[in-house]
Amino acid sequence: MPDSSNNRCSCQRCTVRSLRGPAVLITVGILFLLEQMRGDYFSFHNTWPVILIVLGLVSLACSLAPMDGHIAPAPPVAPGAPPPPPGPLPGQGR
């Protein structure tokens, strides 16, 4: 599964996946705007399922998009143990 934090990849699947956050923010903004304009019918407690529909549509588009040219993110590097302290050089025994 591709990582959405992969900034190097520009395949269609990663591009669609990167639109998930903005799509939800725009949807919430439109729902609140509709509530301000027509609060009698478009109140948020009546329209919140639209957010789930938008998330589902973006997920569907992401799963249908091809991964041609996908660049996998680099695996995380685990911190290694510190190198051992240097010992005495040969010929400098103490």
Average pLDDT of the segment spanning 37-66: 85
pLDDT at 1 over 50: no
15 touches 71 (CB < 8 A): no
Tell me whether residue 4 is in a domain.
no
Element (H, E) at 64: helix 49-64
Q: Is residue 25 part of a domain?
A: yes
In the 8-state DSSP scheme, what is residue 9? -
Tokens 């143990």 belong to residue = 81
Domain encompassing residue 58: 12-64
Provide the domain count of the chain. 1
Query: The tokens of 59 are what?
Result: 């997920």
21 part of a folded domain? yes
In a domain, 5, yes or no: no
> Is 44 contained in some domain?
yes
pTM value? 0.60
Q: Which of these ranges, 21-25, 66-70, 71-75, has the smallest mean pLDDT?
A: 71-75
Is the Cβ–Cβ distance between 30 and 43 less than 8 Å?
A: no
In a domain, 53, yes or no: yes
Answer for the pair 85, 54: CB distance below 8 angstroms, yes or no.
Answer: no
Decide if 72 is inside a domain: no
What pLDDT sits at residue 64? 87
